[in-house]
Structure 1
Amino acid sequence: MDRLQELTEIIARHTEEDGIFATRIPRLSLVRMSKRTEPMPGVQQPALCLIAQGVKQVLLADEVFEYGPARHLIASADLPITGQVIQASPDEPYLSLKLDLDLNALSTMLIEMPPPRAGFGIAKSCGKALCLSRTDPQLLEAAVRLLRLLDTPEDIAFLAPLAEKELLYRLMRGDQAQKLQRMLMPESRLQQVNRAIAWIRQNYDKPFSVERVAQEARMSTSSLHEHFREVTAMSPLQYQKQLRLQEARRLIMSEALDAASAAHRVGYDSPSQFSREYRRLFGAPPIQDISRLKAEPGRYAPASA
């Protein structure tokens, strides 16, 4: 059987309805959507996202990443993105897998692996922490081998770590290998930006200076500006704004806070500024946005994967 077809059938068998489903395999989740979804902002954490069927579009600031079957996306930092399934139907639903990257396992492999052959790991024209690649047969075979374990759950505890290691090995031998290696090296530019990202995520609801963020990242202010934008396609303050607005939306949706209380909770002093920026990101003011999310939840799939 064609490996892509087998991957499609496994995901379909373990996702009988639309949604995102955690599996018994650690860090692995499956996604099924039977119709086109609306754009949905969220934070993409370091992960491998591989599509078996359908097409998805991911926006990082003003950059568009569109991918479909036998292509995969690698995220190497926590990134505010907007995701949208743009091709799906009840007969041919969107089907994908997401494997959160085990950074400890990747670090161990980086130490133990022999040097790659010449020409491997060169990520052409992709300086961002979000990159697309074509899925080669070896990587696809490793993904299928991991997902086959869902049909024999008694084998997962013993064989899933081996299958996941093979999948990570294929990634470390693929055309995004250099990006993954930079993510793991303590003083690489990507790791420095990741330190800045981690600090902003912990302090997003408080005012901060770019100088303070640069100090946390162990970079000069000018270097932070340059490399933060190179990795995330936005400035540190733009990154903070997206985190604030996404958390405010979650508070209004999940904890039933009113817009003013949510705005104050995430660090806004001006309710009118909050309303303007919320509408700019989500396409509607808070009350209208939350009403449509509750009325048609199936049209608003989470951004990741």
Structure 2
Amino acid sequence: MPIPKQDWFRFAADLSALAPTDGLMQTALPCVTVYRASKPGTIIQAVYQPNLCIVAQGQKAIIFGNKELLYDPLNYLAVTMPLPLEGRVIQATEEEPFLALLIDIDLTTLSHLLVELGDNLAIPTQEKIEPAIYISHVKQPFLHAVLQLLSIMKDPVDCRILAPGILKSIIYYALQAEHHNSLQAMLRGNSATYRISRVVRFLDENYSKALDLKTIAAKANMSESSLSHNFKAITSMSPIQYIKKIRLHRARLLMLGDGLNASDAAFNVGYSSPSQFSREFQRMFGASPSDAARTTLHGLPVTSSVRQT
């Protein structure tokens, strides 16, 4: 059954009220933010955190490997582990800006849901390795839960008492959607997705250290070939490429947010050669480190924990 138009109008109006200007706006709930853009943008490199991104208005594209994923009011984006990606808003105007709600995926909530669902949640007999990012169709119960969450934002007591249950219902509906295997596999200890998620967490925490494929594979308790194959299937890149991108993103944030110069930022993230850092930075961001240090992060607050849509 089609979702009534008034629900979309209400969704867009609620997000517009929470984000009256362009950029990323924090809501009363730390795990929920709103993003607004009033015009199409150029391709932006960013680290996308595990979340659900539900669009009320406009359209955005994400590049994952050699694929372009489009999400809009009919299709939400789910990211199940931190991923350095390229994205751009492709449909937005001053009158009808791109508006999106971002909800962090809480692993504790997800874990409790998987336990509660038990045998009611279909688990494939043979694991299919799926990417850590996917597009899923917005259904009416899912959107109604989102609207219910927005309706309590103005009251701190309502947020404190009611938000956990509503957020749980949103994750529940995401687990019922197509491609949900990628979401539930994050916590299935015997799955390749779970093992790769642990590798990603390890790399995020140790990116500044000297790491090679052999060391990473040993940490994951996987062979080098198995690690490389599964890691690329899930993240679209090799473990070494992942480390390089995370290092460059962290260095950029250190320059923009903390005022470090290029050499200090390079050494902080694990580079021993400033010239190599400059070459790889230029190749990835299309600007030298010194030029990047004089810019802002596309209108968003510059912190080490910037959440991307």
Instruction: Give the alignment's TM-score, normalised by structure 1.
Output: 0.90
Structure-2 separation of matches of 1:297 and 1:10? 21
Q: How far does residue 84 in structure 1 lie from its aligned partner after superposition?
A: 1.7
Match of 1:171 in 2: 174
2:79 counterpart of 1:78:
no
Paired residue for 1:57, among 47, 55, 61? 61
Q: How is 1:133-212 mapped onto 2 (pairs within 5 angstroms)?
A: 133-212=136-215
Q: How is 1:16-165 mapped onto 2 (pairs within 5 angstroms)?
A: 16-113=20-117, 115-116=119-120, 127-165=130-168
Q: How far does residue 221 in structure 1 lie from its aligned partner after superposition?
A: 1.2
Q: How far does residue 303 in structure 1 lie from its aligned partner after superposition?
A: 7.0
Structure-1 separation of matches of 2:43 and 2:10? 29
Q: Alignment partner of 2:54: what SS?
A: strand
2:12 counterpart of 1:12:
no
Q: How far does residue 114 in structure 1 lie from its aligned partner after superposition?
A: 5.2
Letter in 2 for 1:246: H
Structure-1 separation of matches of 2:307 and 2:117? 33
Q: Alignment partner of 2:53: what SS?
A: strand
Q: Is the 8 A contact 1:18 1:32 kept in 2?
A: yes
Structure-2 separation of matches of 1:262 and 1:78? 21
Q: Is the 8 A contact 1:59 1:81 kept in 2?
A: yes
Q: How is 1:273-292 mapped onto 2 (pairs within 5 angstroms)?
A: 273-292=276-295
Letter in 1 for 2:292: D
Q: How far does residue 15 in structure 1 lie from its aligned partner after superposition?
A: 1.2
Q: Alignment partner of 2:296: what SS?
A: helix
User: How many positions carry a matched residue from both structures?
Assistant: 298
Q: Percent of aligned positions with the same letter in both sequences?
A: 34
Structure-2 separation of matches of 1:168 and 1:99? 9
Structure-1 separation of matches of 2:182 and 2:204? 22
Q: Deviations over 1:242-261 (max 9, x none)?
A: 01111111111122222122
Letter in 2 for 1:297: G
Q: Alignment partner of 2:178: what SS?
A: coil
Q: Deviations over 1:66-104 (max 9, x none)?
A: 211121111111111122222212111110001001111
Structure 1 residues 75 and 117 mapped into 2: Cα distance closer, same or farther (>3 Å)?
A: closer
Letter in 1 for 2:79: A
Q: Is the 8 A contact 1:22 1:28 kept in 2?
A: yes
Letter in 1 for 2:133: L
Instruction: Give the alignment's TM-score, normalised by structure 2.
Output: 0.89
Q: Alignment partner of 2:217: what SS?
A: helix
Letter in 2 for 1:89: T
Q: Alignment partner of 1:249: what SS?
A: helix
Unaligned runs of 5+ in 1: none
Structure-2 separation of matches of 1:282 and 1:292? 12
Unaligned runs of 5+ in 2: none
Q: Deviations over 1:37-81 (max 9, x none)?
A: 332222222111111111112223443222111211111111111
Q: Is the 8 A contact 1:252 1:290 kept in 2?
A: yes
Q: Is the 8 A contact 1:116 1:173 kept in 2?
A: no
Match of 2:251 in 1: 248
Structure 1 residues 276 and 216 mapped into 2: Cα distance closer, same or farther (>3 Å)?
A: same
Tell me whether 199-208 or 62-71 shows the greater mean CA deviation.
62-71
